[in-house]
Amino acid sequence: MTTKATRSPTIRFAAVIAMLAIAALSIGLAFAFLTDSDHAINNLTVGQTDVQIEEDFEPPASLDPGNSFKKEVSIRNVGTGPAYVRVLVGYSSNALKEALRIDFDDESWTSEDGESYRYYLSALYPNDSTTPLFTKAEIVSTVEDNQQATDIFVYAEAASAIDPKTGKLYETAPEAFNALTKEES
């Protein structure tokens, strides 16, 4: 007579639990090997680009040819980051424009055509000022109508010197302003 071994229900239950535990552990280990995670904290700061025109002006005694007067114009970066600066100089009349000769600084400033914007060649850091765009004006011919307004207008603009795509300085002021214009389009 042969006897058949019987297993108690408790042993069978323990064996099933052990197999489930091994399967769960295997799945967990496989998942751990096949996945990865990481985190990073990015601190973003917002900068402000702002400039201020600084002027030292001594009006001329008269508008007679040969007279010159002090008009020293520079730009200060009052923003929070580096900026490139450009300046547009205008006149209250064409007669005044023709009658004046202004001593523009062509070493630290550049103009594509001599008539439009003049760009400061270096990036301007916070609280720094440009070299003067000009320091004096000379009356070289008679202003046709002395009663006309005789104003020289100075308009300044600034663009961030940092390329937001690369985090590096633009190479030139026109490049920074062109990028700004493209972003607005």
Question: What is the pTM (predicted TM-score) of this model?
Answer: 0.70
Q: 68 pLDDT exceeds 80?
A: yes
Q: 113 pLDDT exceeds 90?
A: no
Higher-confidence residue: 164 or 33? Answer: 164
In a domain, 2, yes or no: no
Give the pLDDT confidence score for residue 165 in this predicted structure: 86
Mean pLDDT of the chain: 82
In a domain, 24, yes or no: no
pLDDT band at 54 (very low <50, low <70, confident <90, very high): very high
In a domain, 44, yes or no: no
In a domain, 63, yes or no: yes
> Can you tell me the mean pLDDT for 45-50?
72
In a domain, 115, yes or no: yes
Q: 88 pLDDT exceeds 60?
A: yes
In a domain, 113, yes or no: yes
Q: 71 pLDDT exceeds 80?
A: yes
Please report which helix (H) or strand (E) contains residue 87, including its range.
strand 83-91
Q: 3 pLDDT exceeds 70?
A: no
Higher-confidence residue: 113 or 151? Answer: 151
Structure-block tokens of residue 129:
């000022």
The CATH number linked to 77 is 2.60.40
Domain extent for 144: 51-184
Higher-confidence residue: 37 or 59? Answer: 59
**Contact between residue 73 and residue 54 where contact means Cβ atoms under 8 Å apart:** yes
In a domain, 156, yes or no: yes
What's the number of domains the chain is made of? 1
- The set of residues, in sequence order, having a beta carbon less than 8 Å from that of 45 and lying 6+ positions away, is none
- The set of residues, in sequence order, having a beta carbon less than 8 Å from that of 61 and lying 6+ positions away, is 67
Q: Report the alpha-carbon distance of residue 71 to residue 55 in Å, rounded.
A: 7
> Can you tell me the mean pLDDT for 49-72?
89
